[in-house]
Amino acid sequence: MKLSLFGATGPTGKYIIEEAFKQGYSLSVYTRNARKVDAFAGKVDVVVGDLHDTAAIAKCVRGADAVISALGPNSLKVQGDRPVMQGLSNIISVMRQMGVHRLIQISTAAYRDPRDGFALGAHAFVLLFRVIVPRAYEDIKATGELIASSGLDWTLVRIPNLKDDPANGNIDVGWYGRSKLSMKLSRGNLAKFLVDQVTDKTFVRAAPGIANR
Ligand SMILES: NC(=O)c1ccc[n+]([C@@H]2O[C@H](COP(=O)([O-])OP(=O)(O)OC[C@H]3O[C@@H](n4cnc5c(N)ncnc54)[C@H](OP(=O)(O)O)[C@@H]3O)[C@@H](O)[C@H]2O)c1
């Protein structure tokens, strides 16, 4: 089975790639700078392009069983109007053309799931984020809303602060304000949850929060 991966050049990317290998997937990785995935040269197909280049996006998505996206605004230097949301709009239209239905995207509490209650911690975190980096907040929220109305088999995996630790399987999954969710998550645990969603249909068309236990 093949996965198409976007946004893998950040620190979470290598965990996702390694987890996908571990689960036996082949990978097509999309990047605007091939040097950032040099460590995986020869092991993954690398497709170079920006998020406006639908021909290059199609090359990456063609033949994939699912798309995983770790795309997120580079907080302090968001250029243009909601660039990640615009990029996802192009990815979604390519997925529709190619008949690829499964989309798994990293998100945060900036996007609300209808199952959420009121969670003081998550609410305060989102408010602070909104005040400090309003353009990043708007991009994450709009990306979530776009994906939720896409008609695809989507999952938004909502996360708190990330830390650079391997997977240990100790996570809580649920809804803000209704489930116990801490404010930290290991990148290894995130990568495993993302790749598990390819075949696990529990959270299709839902936006679970996940966090380290
Ligand atoms: N770090 C945290 O504590 C935290 C907390 C909450 C949510 N998140 C989210 O978790 C995900 C992974 O985070 P991370 O810290 O591992 O990595 P990151 O550095 O935030 O990775 C962002 C990825 O998105 C890509 N990207 C951003 N804007 C883009 C644009 N306009 N066009 C094309 N690509 C673009 C980056 O590509 P380039 O390398 O080319 O810039 C990179 O691959 C991100 O979605 C992030 O927003 C992180």
159 contacts: CB under 8 Å, gap ≥ 6 = 106, 107, 108, 185, 190, 209, 210, 211
Q: Give the Å distance between the CA of 72 and the centre of ligand 1.
A: 4
Q: What's this model's pTM, rounded to 2 decimal places?
A: 0.97
Question: Would you say the CB of residue 161 lies under 6 angstroms from ligand 1?
Answer: yes
Q: What is the DSSP letter of 53?
A: -
CA-based nearest residue to 104, from 41, 213, 16: 16
pLDDT means per 10 residues, the chain with 213 residues, are: 96 97 98 96 97 98 98 82 97 98 97 93 90 94 98 98 96 96 97 98 98 98
Q: Give the Å distance between the CA of 159 and the centre of ligand 1.
A: 13
Ligand 1 atom at minimal distance to the Cα of residue 36? 39
Question: Would you say the CB of residue 174 lies under 6 angstroms from ligand 1?
Answer: no
Ligand 1 atom at minimal distance to the Cα of residue 80? 31
Question: Would you say the CB of residue 194 lies under 6 angstroms from ligand 1?
Answer: no
pLDDT of 75 reads 66
Q: Are 168 and 190 in contact (CB under 8 A)?
A: no
> For atom 38 of ligand 1, which residue has the closest CA?
9
Q: Give the Å distance between the CA of 170 and the centre of ligand 1.
A: 24
Q: Are 71 and 87 in contact (CB under 8 A)?
A: yes
Distance of CA 196 to CAs 61, 66, 106, 180, 203, Å? 19, 11, 13, 21, 11
Q: How far apart are CA 9 and CA 147, in angstroms?
A: 21
pLDDT of 78 reads 78
Question: Would you say the CB of residue 36 lies under 6 angstroms from ligand 1?
Answer: yes
DSSP sequence for 92-116: HHHHHHHT--EEEEEE-TTSPPTT-
Q: Give the Å distance between the CA of 71 and the centre of ligand 1.
A: 5
Topology (CATH level 3) of domain 2-212: Rossmann fold (3.40.50)
